[in-house]
Amino acid sequence: MRQFHATVHGRGEPVLFLPGGGFTGSQGQLFAEALHNDFEVHLLDLPGFGESEGLHTFATSKVLADWVETYRISRRLESVRLIGHSMGGAIALAHAVHYPDQVRHLILLDQGHKPNAMLPYREYGIFGFALPLLRLLYHHSPRRLLNWIETKVNKSDPTFSEERFQLFCRRIGVEPTLSIRSAVEQSARLSTGGLHLLFGYDGLDFKDLLRRVQVPTHLYYADFTGIDLKEAKRTLHHVKRAERLLHPSVQLIAVPGGHFVQWSRHFSMENVERFLHT
């Protein structure tokens, strides 16, 4: 397994796309299709998810920033534009905070404006309800726990089916498209090194990182209208608090719908292109 697995599309100044947890870089295919005429778009697998080698230590924000920086240097890239969704957005945000001189623009997809839920069942399913106990075990007996979870996760049935795909789209509130189908079909295999990322991500202070970022940033956040009234109220509360503390270079943009904002019919790729060209 290589340290980094990425597919590269187009030519021009580099754009790095970092997917959400459980997905490969193929989740960013719609960005590659939209931007490849003007940019060189790198679709990366996250460390320990898919084909990228996992981390060997607990994933602090600096460890995650260094991971992106190592990739940038290995590809001999000048300053980059970063796009990240969910877990990938947290990694992109960490890189922009720790290496601001190397980041031209940052696009966050439903990441940074509010903390993780204590029981993140929306992101992790039934696994989310066990997360408080697993956090404790990870910090006291990490090797045994990581090996056990890896075995359980990778015994699950990875078979793609039309029924599962349609159910996934209904659950997240999006219309099924070929781009979404491709991303779901290529779901990422989780390794032990990916679990270092998972538990490190769980402990990140997203709002503190967002307050510290000073590079030009667009944060597209899900407002959960028509999806989850409780989460919609929680989101609005945190957005109002965040707006008072952000650097002027950071702009928050609401997208009607759920967590996968880039797949919403309300998401504007034209705005993304204009922003990246500034």
Q: What is the pLDDT of residue 161?
A: 83
Q: What is the pLDDT of residue 186?
A: 86
C-alpha distances (whole Å) from 110 to each of 61, 160, 277 are: 18, 26, 22
Which two three-digit tokens encode residue 122?
């929306």
Mean pLDDT of the chain: 88
Residue carrying structure tokens 């969704």: 85
Instruction: List, in order, residues 6 or more apart from 244 with CB less than 8 Å away.
Output: none
* pLDDT above 80: residue 213: yes
Which two three-digit tokens encode residue 208?
């503190």
Strand partners, 15: 41, 81
Q: Please check whether residue 60 is in contact with residue 10, taking contact to mean a CB–CB distance below 8 angstroms.
A: no
Strands 39-44, 6-9: pairing is: antiparallel
For residue 216, the SS3 value is: coil
Q: What is the pLDDT of residue 193?
A: 77
Residues 98, 94: Cα–Cα separation, whole Å: 6
Q: What is the pLDDT of residue 42?
A: 98
Residues 180, 167: Cα–Cα separation, whole Å: 13
Q: What ranges in 141-228 are assigned the alpha helix state H?
A: 142-155, 162-172, 178-185, 192-202, 206-212
Between residues 31 and 155, which one has the greater pLDDT?
31
10 Å CB burial of residue 237 (0-12, 13-18, 19+) is: exposed
Which two three-digit tokens encode residue 261?
């904002």
The pLDDT-based confidence of 127 (bands split at 50, 70, 90) is very low
Is the four-CA dihedral 106, 110, 114, 117 of positive or negative sign? negative
Residues 259, 96: Cα–Cα separation, whole Å: 22
Average pLDDT over residues 95-117: 95
Q: Name which of 68-77, 177-186, 241-250 the model is least confident about.
A: 177-186
Which two three-digit tokens encode residue 35?
């931007």
Between residues 160 and 223, which one has the greater pLDDT?
223
Q: What is the pLDDT of residue 164?
A: 84
